Structure 1
Amino acid sequence: MSDTPEQSTFDGDELRFDDFQIDGFESEDAPIASPFTPERDLSFFKKIPVTVTLEVASKEIPLGDLMKAGEGSVIELDKLNGEPLDVKVNGSLMGHAEVVVINDKYGLRLIDVVDSALSSMGD
């Protein structure tokens, strides 16, 4: 006979996690995450400077053709007259706008804002 204890195989079905209690891990007093958690105060974002760009139109042309362009040359762009222009914030599309003139300065009037532009701000 041998003195070694008999080894048994582990059966995962016999493991019951309800029997475990870990101190400090979960308590009845701990706040429970809720889908109705109040929004965080994000007012500090209001002071961060960003670059707003109004993109009139664009065109991809070979560098050789661009090098031939001179004073008086016309390069046809991809937007139609009266079509809304792209408003970009730090290079990302924010929405569309039209050009206005206010006190002899150009401005823009927002026509629409892209839904995804600011929706991820609070994530």
Structure 2
Amino acid sequence: MSIDSPALDALSAAPGGDDAFAAVMQEMASAGQAEAAPPAPAAAAALGLGRLMRRIPVTLTLELGSAEVSLEDVAQLRPDSVVELDVLAGEPLTMKINGVAIGKAEVVVSGENYGLKVLEVSGLDLDSFAP
């Protein structure tokens, strides 16, 4: 797979384009990947795959909880309705990256926004991608 410079320039210049993604793609292009075949393990190590993987943008979410309800219950929801979730108040919440649980956190206020305070990180080993 060949990555040409004009395509990268268009990606990075596109409105709403992701600069981190474009930077990773640019770095891969400058590493000189082969056109026909995927890189051999030695070539992947030369690319610094672990370093590149760390720069890929992901979505971090904090799952508040869930509730199993019937469609009849959903049909009866109104603006003042309350649905009880399966998480106790004050209990640590599940932190996820792209939908995969990676730890526990709690909600905090950061300036005018909500934020999360990391309490525990588990199951996340970015170093396993290093050559």
**Under TM normalisation by the shorter chain, which class is it?**
0.5 to 0.7
Q: 1:61 aligns with which of 65, 69, 77?
A: 69
Determine whether 1:52 maps to 2:50.
Answer: no
Q: 1:70 aligns with which of 65, 78, 86?
A: 78
> How many percent of aligned residue pairs carry the same amino acid?
41
Q: What residue in structure 2 maps to residue 101 of structure 1? A: 109
* Structure 1 alignment gaps of length 5 or more: 1-39
**Aligned mates of 2:110, 2:68 — CA distance in 1:** 32
Q: Which residue identity lines up with residue 100 of structure 2 in the other structure?
A: S
Structure number with larger C-alpha Rg = 1
Q: Aligned runs of 1:1-123 on 2, under 5 Å?
A: 41=48, 42-114=50-122, 116-118=123-125, 121-122=128-129
**Aligned mates of 1:120, 1:57 — CA distance in 2:** 30
Residue 44 of structure 1: SS of its match in structure 2?
helix
Q: What residue in structure 2 maps to residue 29 of structure 1? A: none
**Aligned mates of 1:61, 1:75 — CA distance in 2:** 9
Q: CA-atom RMSD, angstroms?
A: 2.0
**Is the 1:93–1:117 Cα contact (8 Å) retained in structure 2?**
no
**Structure 1 residue 46, shift from structure 2 partner:** 2.1
**Is the 1:86–1:97 Cα contact (8 Å) retained in structure 2?**
yes
Q: Which has the higher helix share?
A: 2
* Structure 2 alignment gaps of length 5 or more: 1-46
**Structure 1 residue 64, shift from structure 2 partner:** 1.6
